[in-house]
Amino acid sequence: MTITRTGLLAGKQIRRLGFGTMRLTGPGTWGPPASESAAIQLLRKAVDSGVQHIDTADAYGPNVAEGLIRKALFPYADDLVIATKGGFTRQGPNRWTPCGFPAYLRQCVELSLRELNVEAIDLYYLHRVDPNFPLADQVGELEQMRREGKIKALGLSKVDIPQLKQAMTIAPISAVQNSFSVLDQQSESVISYCEQNEIAFVPYAPLGAGKYFDTSRVSDDPTSATHALKWLLDYSPVMFPIPGTSRIEHLLENLRSDIES
């Protein structure tokens, strides 16, 4: 396979290195950022610097990150993919509880449509499979909303191959978002399956949530963020990393990683 720096996501050929918005909220992914204006400036700088894939979720805040995206980027560029997720409830900082009740998932989609101010969401993920409800019911409800024109493409997050295969019998799956990085390669078989089935793989925490890589080091240093992101982009043509940051200098450093050497 030929490795390229662009790829197909939710029907659009875009730059594969995107931007994750989880870190644009308060501590514990709870509440607003310390500075809303700084978060808005960062989002605008990302898109101005060539980012074409913004990843978010209704649970980030909750209901904070999507609103920041709307304030920063609406009206959205035609070549921009905005991906969001639903299926979690939040009880406080660092507290997440899956909820796959189909009526709740429908509500999540409707609220994200309103928060983002769009008629249809480019890419919508089931944020987490809830073991208390059949997977068919969870994916089936989202597929119904896709057929209603409220979702353009569907994705799954934190799934294994059996779950992915089952979901694919119910709906077309465009993307999978699992943890994957230089230090966490447990999703290798899922990535291979995605390659075989032309499904985008979006690694969350591509830099180990910022704990393991130094953004101040040179790009060929194995402990640098740039090195880690280059490794991901070279790993597979279906890889769409979404590093997140709250600082413009780190954003620009990350974006250097998809410049062909």
Quick count: other Cβ atoms within 10 Å of Cβ 244? 25
Banded model confidence at residue 183, pLDDT cuts 50, 70, 90: confident
- Decide if 77 is inside a domain: yes
Residue 3 has pLDDT above 70, yes or no: no
Q: Is residue 127 in a domain?
A: yes
Residues 6 or more apart in contact with residue 18 via CB below 8 angstroms: 51, 52, 53, 54, 55, 81, 202, 240, 241, 242
**Contact by Cβ (8 Å): 257, 226:** yes
**60 has catalytic annotation:** yes
pLDDT reported for residue 205: 85
Q: Assess if residue 75 is contained within a domain.
A: yes
Which residue out of 60, 193, 204, 235 is catalytically annotated?
Answer: 60
What's the rounded mean pLDDT across residues 31-39?
98
Does residue 1 lie in a domain region? no
In a domain, 188, yes or no: yes
pLDDT at 261 over 60: no
CATH of residue 139: 3.20.20.100
How many Cβ atoms from other residues are within 10 Å of residue 140's Cβ?
16
Write down the pLDDT at residue 207: 84
In a domain, 117, yes or no: yes
Q: Which residue has the tokens 């032309």?
A: 198
pLDDT tens for each residue of 195-238: 999 999 999 988 875 555 555 554 556 567 888 899 999 999 99
Q: What angle do CA 131, 196, 165 make, to 5 degrees?
A: 25
Q: What is the extent of the structural domain holding 232?
A: 6-258
Q: What share of the chain is helix, strand, coil (3-state, %, to 5)?
A: 40, 20, 40
Q: Which residue has the tokens 């709740």?
A: 104
pTM value is 0.93
- Which whole number is the average pLDDT over 45-63? 97
Q: Say if 161 falls within a structural domain.
A: yes
Phi and psi at 203, nearest 5°, equal: -80, 120
Say how far apart CA 258 and CA 261 lie, in whole Å.
9
| pLDDT tens digits, one per residue of 102-158 | 999 999 999 999 999 999 999 999 999 999 999 999 999 999 999 999 999 999 999
Alpha carbons 26 and 198: distance in angstroms, whole number: 36
Q: In DSSP terms, which residues pair with 7 in a beta bridge?
A: 14
In this prediction, residue 257 has a pLDDT band, given cuts at 50, 70 and 90, of: confident
pLDDT over 90 percentage in the chain: 84
Task: Judge residue 245's burial from the number of C-beta atoms within 10 Å of its C-beta, 0-12 exposed, 13-18 middle, 19 or more buried.
Answer: buried
Q: For residue 1, what pLDDT band results from cuts at 50, 70 and 90?
A: very low
pLDDT, position 210? 56
Is the distance from CB of 54 to CB of 43 less than 8 angstroms? yes
Domain count, the chain: 1
Q: By the 8 A CB rule, do 90 and 64 touch?
A: no
Give the confidence band of 184 by pLDDT, cuts at 50, 70, 90.
confident
Kindly state whether residue 12 falls inside one of the protein's structural domains.
Answer: yes
